[in-house]
């Protein structure tokens, strides 16, 4: 198992559309195991493969609370069949948009068809946090982030802050701790 680096916005890789998986084999299961370990380490409750740079339609999830028994879930080639017309807001976050939390309005429930860890077809009726998380992860497979559901002003503000933080982090790696540093190359 391995912890993989999580891609942070704005990074064009997060905007890719992920491709369907052709076969659920041991190689794919290794990816799913690594994704799960990466998600637990972050920590997060869901992770799409594109967040670790793999443009495949694969999602891992575990909604178990602290102190509860782990309940890992794996979704390959998921499809949402019948989202409810009724929607509800939920305060979302994203490992690729660290430290920002905003309400997003989504269908309150949905049915999902997918392949599980063993490549078996499954159907799941999702509501509550499960429905929120599945829809958030399905968005990732289309190159969509939760901030795309916000106003343009809010989204641009968040992306600007993320860009600035990453610039600062890079400057520090280069041996410069000054965020106002204008040296060429910073």
The answer to whether 42 and 137 have CB atoms below 8 angstroms apart is no
Stretch that binds ligand GNR, among 25-33, 47-55, 70-78, 154-162 (CB under 6 A): 47-55
Paired residues of 87 in beta bridges: 107
The answer to whether 157 and 151 have CB atoms below 8 angstroms apart is no
Q: Does 134 bind ligand GNR (CB under 6 A)?
A: no
Q: What is the 3-state secondary structure (H, E, C) of 117-143?
A: CCCCEEEEEEEHHHHHHHHHHHHHHCC
Binding track over 84-123 against Ni ion, x by CB under 5 A:
----------x-----------------------------
Of residues 61 and 94, the one with the C-beta less far from Ni ion: 94
Which one of 137, 142, 156, 165 is the catalytic residue? Answer: 137
Rounded Cα distance, 182 and 186, in Å: 7
Of residues 32 and 48, the one with the C-beta less far from ligand GNR: 48
Q: Does 95 bind ligand GNR (CB under 6 A)?
A: yes
């Amino acid at each position: 198992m391995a912890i993989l680096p999580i891609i942070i916005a704005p990074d064009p890789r997060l905007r890719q559309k992920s491709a369907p998986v052709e076969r659920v084999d041991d190689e794919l299961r290794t990816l799913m195991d690594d994704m799960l370990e990466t998600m637990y380490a972050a920590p997060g409750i869901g992770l799409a493969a594109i967040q670790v740079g793999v443009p495949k339609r694969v999602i891992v999830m575990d909604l178990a609370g602290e102190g509860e028994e782990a309940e890992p879930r794996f979704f390959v080639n998921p499809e949402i069949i019948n989202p409810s017309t009724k929607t509800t807001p939920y305060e979302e976050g994203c490992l690729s948009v660290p430290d920002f939390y905003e309400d997003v309005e989504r269908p309150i429930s949905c049915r999902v068809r997918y392949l599980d860890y063993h490549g078996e077809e499954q159907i799941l009726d999702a509501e509550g946090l499960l429905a929120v998380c599945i829809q958030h992860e399905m968005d990732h497979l289309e190159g969509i982030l939760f901030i795309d559901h916000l106003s343009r002003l809010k989204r641009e503000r968040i992306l600007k802050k993320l860009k600035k933080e990453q610039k600062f982090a890079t400057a520090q790696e280069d041996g410069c701790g000054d965020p106002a540093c204008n040296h060429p190359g910073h």
